[in-house]
């Protein structure tokens, strides 16, 4: 997950913050899918996606 952030970070001034957050959320979901705590990962992924929707809504307004 951190390696993807380092890869995206130099281009962060070109991307909107919501797109950067979406890339981070996708990498986190891949990490959670590989982990053993499926229920905790599911709850955290739902929270991440709802936070992303909030960010996207605030950028559109």
Q: Tell me how many domains the chain contains.
A: 1
CA dihedral 59, 43, 41, 26 (to 10 degrees): -20
**Domain span including residue 16:** 2-60
pTM (predicted TM-score): 0.36
Q: What is the predicted pLDDT for the residue at 31? A: 74
List of the chain residues with pLDDT < 70: 1-20, 32, 35-39, 41, 55-61
Q: What is the predicted pLDDT for the residue at 5? A: 42
Give the side-chain half-sphere CA count within 13 A for 48: 18
Q: What is the predicted pLDDT for the residue at 17? A: 63
Q: What is the predicted pLDDT for the residue at 8? A: 45
Q: What is the predicted pLDDT for the residue at 55? A: 66
CA distances from 59 to 7, 40, 53 (A): 24, 29, 10
């Amino acid at each position: 997950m951190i390696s993807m952030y380092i890869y995206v970070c130099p281009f962060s001034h070109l991307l909107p913050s919501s797109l950067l957050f979406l890339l981070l959320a996708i990498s986190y979901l891949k990490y959670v899918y590989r982990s053993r705590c499926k229920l905790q990962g599911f709850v955290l992924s739902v929270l991440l996606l709802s936070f992303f929707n909030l960010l996207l809504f605030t950028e559109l307004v």
